[in-house]
Structure formats: C-alpha cells, structure tokens
Chain A
Amino acid sequence: MRYLTDRKRAVGLGSAKSGVHHFWAMKVSSVALLVLVPLFVFTFGSALGGSYEEVTAYYARPFPAIVAALTLAVGMIHFKDGVQVLIEDYVHGTAQKYAIIGMICLSYAIAAVGVFSVIKLAL
C-alpha cells in the first residue's frame, strides 16, 4: 500500500491544474488592446457610414489599415483566451472540449478573415 501524504494527494488537483501562462497571455494582449482599441474605435468609427469609394480609399491608407489589422488579430486572440475561461466555468465534460475547440477555431478564423480583408483593401 502506498503511503499518501496530504501534499501528495493535493498536488495537481487544483481546479485549474495550470493557468499562469494563460493569465499572462491575457494580460499582455489586454495591454496591447488598451492602446489599439481607442485607435480602432476612432478610425473605424470615422470610416463607418461612408460610401464604398470613401471606405476603400480610407483603408488604402497605412495607418487605419494597420490599426484595424492589429486590433482584429490581437482582439480575437484575447477573445480566444477569454472565451476559453468562460466555457471552462460553465460547460463540463466532453461538451467543454468541443466548445473550446470550436471557439478557438472560430477566433482564429475571424482574425484571419479580418486581417486578409484589411490587407486586400490596403494593397
């Protein structure tokens, strides 16, 4: 019979098992977004409502295009990490795995489509 100490029983049984890396990744992306979000709100906000010609001309300029591409990419990476925690809290078992995989794929897809479109507009 193995001798189990209190410590041996507890190690690795925290509710999350790990998480410092996840926390740090969200912290880094949140600081990046703190700069990007106001820039995006005001550049995208001034483009929205314009005609097709105005919008394509506006996003042919480097600054609004770079801000939009970065905000969509970093924003969706931040979302990917955030929605994973949401799912981990409320969905359990196999459904949790499916939900996390699905949302991570969706996050990358939205980021890729957004960045591709902005680059196509800019070039």
Chain B
Amino acid sequence: MADVNRGNRPLSPHLSIYRPQLNSITSILTRITGNALLIGAILIVWWFVAAATSESAFATANSVITSWLGDLVMFGSLWALWYHTLAGVRHLIWDNAAMLDLGSAEKLGWAVVIGSVVLTILTVLVI
C-alpha cells in the first residue's frame, strides 16, 4: 500500500524557526526589489508617454518625477535595480552549481549588498 500517513507528516522548519541570516535576507530582498521596481517602471513609462504626447503633458510628468518624492522613488529604484541585477548574477552563478558552499555564498551575499550601494553611488555621481 502506498503512503497511508497522510496529513500527519513532520513539517520542515520555516520562517518562525530560523534566525534571519545574510542568505535569507538577501534572498527576500531580491524578490522585494524586483517587484517594487514596478513603481519606478510605471513612473518612467508615464514620463515617456508624456514626452511623446505634448510639452504640457511632459511638464506635468517631469515635475512629478523630478520632485523630491520622485527623486526619492528614482533613487530607491536605482538601488533596487542594481541590487536585483547583482542578485540575478548570483543566481546565474548558482545555476551552474558553483559557489554554493557556505563561505562562497556568504561572500556573494556581501558582494551583492556592498556592490549595489557602490554602483548606486557611482551612478548618481556619473549622472
């Protein structure tokens, strides 16, 4: 007879059991940054539509995107974009079954966190 023990199996430990660590935090941040980028994308597309529509439409969209709140969203999106990009590179590396040991994974985690901050500052300086 196949498995008769239905619904009464041991559960693997989940969020409430594990202490937050670099791997789990950088992992969920990848998801959060990727999905939060929707807001920046909508703002940027609005800016493009406005520029393609008329000078007055552009003035409205441009004033929103360059306001302090717009600047804040763009700055946050910039960091999110770099973070998500570096985290994506990490996944491309891991997909090859490389650097999965604890030490390497820890190094990659810090590389993603520090790299995203450095790239964000560099971008702001260049632009």
Return chain A residues, CB-CB under 8 Å to B58. Answer: 52, 55
Q: Are B52 and A48 in contact (CB under 8 A)?
A: no
Contact with B along A15-54 (1 / 0, CB 8 A): 0000000000001001101100100011011101100100
A95 contacts partner chain B, Cβ-Cβ < 8 Å = no
Return chain B residues, CB-CB under 8 Å to A121. Answer: 48, 51-52
Contact with B along A97-123 (1 / 0, CB 8 A): 000000000000010011011101100
| With known contacts A9-B2, A117-B48, A75–B31 Cβ distance under 8 A | no
Give which listed residue, B31, B34, B92, B126, contacts A31 with CB less than 8 A: B92
Rounded to whole angstroms, the CA-CA distance of A34 and B41 in the bound complex is 17
Rounded to whole angstroms, the CA-CA distance of A48 and B92 in the bound complex is 31
Return chain A residues, CB-CB under 8 Å to B126. Answer: 42, 45
Give which listed residue, A41, A59, A72, A83, contacts B123 with CB less than 8 A: A41
Q: Measured between C-beta atoms, what is the minimum distance from A117 to chain B in Å?
A: 4
Rounded to whole angstroms, the CA-CA distance of A30 and B37 in the bound complex is 15
Task: With a 10 A CB-CB cut-off, give which of A5, A8, A42, A55 has the most chain B CB atoms.
Answer: A55
B3 contacts partner chain A, Cβ-Cβ < 8 Å = yes
Task: With a 10 A CB-CB cut-off, give which of B47, B51, B89, B126 has the most chain A CB atoms.
Answer: B51
Leading 8 A-B pairs by shortest Cβ distance: A45-B127, A117-B48, A117-B52, A120-B52, A114-B45, A117-B49, A52-B55, A30-B88
- Chain A contact residues, CB within 8 Å of chain B: 4-6, 8-9, 27, 30-31, 33-34, 37, 41-42, 44-46, 48-49, 52, 55-56, 59, 68, 72, 75-76, 79, 82-83, 86, 110, 113-114, 116-118, 120-121
